[in-house]
Amino acid sequence: MISIFICEDNPHYLEMMSKCIRDYISMEGYDMELTLATPFPDKIINHVTNNKVNGLYFLDVELEGQQTNGVELARAIRQHDPRGFIAFVTAHPQYMQITFEYQVEAMAYIQKTGASDEKTIQQKICECIKNAYNKHVTRADDGRFIFKSINGRLISCDYGDILFFETLKGSKRLVLHTKKRQYTFYGTINDLTKTLPKGHFFKCHKSSIVNVNNLTEFSKEELLNGKDYIIMPDGTECNVAIRKRKELLNMMLDNNAKKD
């Protein structure tokens, strides 16, 4: 998941950029969200300081009425999200030189040219989103599951966001349940078992693989009560084979002991 942030002091541009971003990521089906759109740099600093973020940031260079300008904000962001994607937005091209002086790596510079050319600004925003997403999903980072969806789009999910995988009945497709949404892609449970990290994911049924780290105490109670399924945090049911029940319980206990 990529979180997108906007810091822009002009209300018109803030609204225009927000709508452009929401519409584009919805149309493309990207695993992204507009997390925060604000004229206040401190709000973005507070968020990236207190949350683990893979971010794309659209930052106005000159923020009127604020003690922090966009370049200083970018430098603060880099301390917490060093691999984040930053695009500077400004109506004053001469300010671009400041970004070099602060040695803040930027993926793009977008110039505000007035309401008559907003389509060009929107096009550049969409290009930034596309480039950031493609770079994100192809990074060889640990801790992420990368796959192609049914429509051929490359998707990247943090392991921590995955709840479980299940076979879509009557097909050679799998459904990936995450904390926020579901994805469908081609594959088999047996092949998936070979690629997922051991100790975190467990094949609990011939048609299901569960992320043990996201099971709750309620899940444990269901298993202890002899049920052949567990209710996941998103409300869906994950099948559990009777012969796998004890092993899954032991994995849950081991993981809880490690956390303690």
Confidence class for position 104, pLDDT limits 50, 70, 90 = low
pLDDT at 170 over 80: no
DSSP letters for the chain: -EEEEEE-S-HHHHHHHHHHHHHHHHHHT-SEEEEEEES-HHHHHHHHHHS---EEEEEES--TT-SS-HHHHHHHHHHH-TT-EEEEEES-GGGHHHHHHTT---SEEEE---GGGHHHHHHHHHHHHHHHHHHHHHS--TTEEEEE-TTS-EEEEEGGGEEEEEEPTTSSEEEEEESS-EEEEE--HHHHHHHSPTTTEEEEETTEEEEGGG--HHHHHHHHTT-SEEE-TTS-EEE--GGGHHHHHHHHHHHHHHH-
Nearest CA to 144 out of 101, 195, 77, 93 is that of 195
**pLDDT attached to residue 50:** 94
- Mean pLDDT for 199-226 is 87
List pLDDT tens digits, range 44-71.
999 999 998 889 999 998 887 788 888 8
225/6: higher pLDDT: 6
Domains of the chain: 2-138 (3.40.50.2300), 145-259 (2.40.50.1020)
Query: Over the chain, what is the mean pLDDT?
Result: 86
List pLDDT tens digits, range 113-136.
765 578 889 999 999 999 998 888
- Mean pLDDT for 183-200 is 89
90/37: higher pLDDT: 37
pLDDT at 102 over 60: no
**pLDDT attached to residue 98:** 59
Q: What percent of the chain has pLDDT over 90?
A: 40
* CA-atom Rg of the chain in angstroms: 22
